[in-house]
Amino acid sequence: MREAPPDSPGVPEERGFAGFPRFWKQGENLLVGIALAAMVLIPLAEIVLRAVFKVGISASTSLVQHLTLVVSMLGGAIAARENRLLSLSAATDYLKGPYRSAARIYSGGFALAVTALLCAAGLRLIGWERLGGKMLAYGIPVWFVQLVIPAGFALIAFHILRHGADRWPGRLLVALIAGMIVMAGLLQPLSPAVLVPFALAALILATALGSPVFVLLGGAAVILFWGAELPIASIPLDQYRLVTNPSLPALPLFTLAGYFLAEGGAPRRLIRVFQVGLGGVRGGPAIITAVVCAFFTSFTGASGVTILALGGLLMPILLTSGCSERSALGLLTGSGSLGLLFPPCLPLILYAIVAKVSLEEIFLGGILPGVLLVAMTAWWGARQCPKIESTGKRFDPEEVGRALWDAKWELLLPVVALGSLFSGLATPVESAAMTAFYAFLTQTLFHRDLKLPGDINRVLTECGLLVGGVLLILGVALGFTNYLVDAQVPSRMVDLVTGTIESPLVFLLLLNVFLIIVGCLMDIYSAIVVVVPLIVPLGAAFGIDPVHLGIVFLANLELGYLTPPVGMNLFLSSYRFNKPLPEVYRSILPILFVLLVGVLMITYFPPLTTFLPKLLLR
DSSP for 223-256 reads HHHHHTT--TTHHHHHHHHHHT-TTTTHHHHHHH
Residue 17's pLDDT is 45
Dihedral-angle region of residue 499 (phi above 0 means left; psi in -120 to 50 means alpha; beta otherwise): alpha
Q: How far apart are CA 288 and CA 94, in angstroms?
A: 36
* Nearest CA among 171, 203, 201 for reference residue 12: 171
The amino acid at residue 507 is F
Residue 9's pLDDT is 33
Q: Give rounded-to-5 percent helix, strand, coil for the chain.
A: 75, 0, 20
Task: Provide the sign of the torsion angle of the four alpha carbons 205, 242, 249, 73, taken in this order.
Answer: positive
Q: The pTM is what?
A: 0.83
The amino acid at residue 367 is I
Q: How far apart are CA 439 and CA 51, in angstroms?
A: 22
Ordered by start, the domain boundaries in the chain are 22-243, 250-455, 470-616
CB atoms within 10 A of CB 41: 13
Burial class (CB in 10 A: 0-12, 13-18, 19+), 123: middle
CB atoms within 10 A of CB 245: 16
* DSSP category for residue 497: H
Q: How far apart are CA 280 and CA 392, in angstroms?
A: 6
* Nearest CA among 74, 76, 47, 46 for reference residue 58: 46
Task: Provide the sign of the torsion angle of the four alpha carbons 485, 488, 489, 492, taken in this order.
Answer: positive
Cβ atoms of 71 and 35 closer than 8 Å: yes
Residue 582's pLDDT is 81
- What interhelical angle do 168-187 and 148-163 show, nearest 10? 130
Cβ atoms of 344 and 363 closer than 8 Å: yes
Q: How far apart are CA 71 and CA 461, in angstroms?
A: 10
* β-sheet bridge partners, residue 212: 87
Helices vs strands, H then E, count in the chain:
29, 2
Q: How far is CA 487 from CA 304, 482, 491, 499, in A?
A: 36, 8, 9, 20
* Nearest CA among 592, 72, 531, 548 for reference residue 337: 592
3-state secondary structure of 2: strand
For the chain, the farthest-separated pair of C-alpha atoms sits apart, in whole angstroms, at 79
Residues of the chain with pLDDT under 50: 1-19, 388-392
Cβ atoms of 569 and 339 closer than 8 Å: no
Return the CA Rg of the chain. Answer: 24
Chain segment 314-368, per-residue pLDDT in tens:
888 888 777 888 888 889 888 888 888 998 888 898 899 888 898 889 999 999 9
Residue 437's pLDDT is 95
The amino acid at residue 418 is L
Question: Which residues have C-beta within 8 Å of that of residue 341, sequence separation ≥ 6?
Answer: 348, 366, 367, 369, 370, 373, 551, 554, 555, 558
Cβ atoms of 318 and 380 closer than 8 Å: no
Give backbone dihedrals phi and psi of 42, rounded to 5 degrees, phi first. Answer: -65, -50
Burial class (CB in 10 A: 0-12, 13-18, 19+), 314: buried
3-state secondary structure of 209: coil
Cβ atoms of 341 and 524 closer than 8 Å: no
* Nearest CA among 210, 208, 234, 209 for reference residue 222: 234
* DSSP category for residue 393: P
CB atoms within 10 A of CB 166: 17
Q: How far apart are CA 269 and CA 257, in angstroms?
A: 16
- What interhelical angle do 303-320 and 266-278 show, nearest 10? 40
Q: Where are the alpha helices (DSSP H) in 148-191?
A: 148-163, 168-187
Burial class (CB in 10 A: 0-12, 13-18, 19+), 233: middle
Three-state SS string over 104-144 comes to: HHHHHHHHHHHHHHHHHHHHHHHHHHHHHCCEEECCEEHHH
Cβ atoms of 35 and 74 closer than 8 Å: yes
3-state secondary structure of 40: helix
Residue 62's pLDDT is 92
Q: How far is CA 200 from CA 57, 204, 483, in A?
A: 47, 6, 15
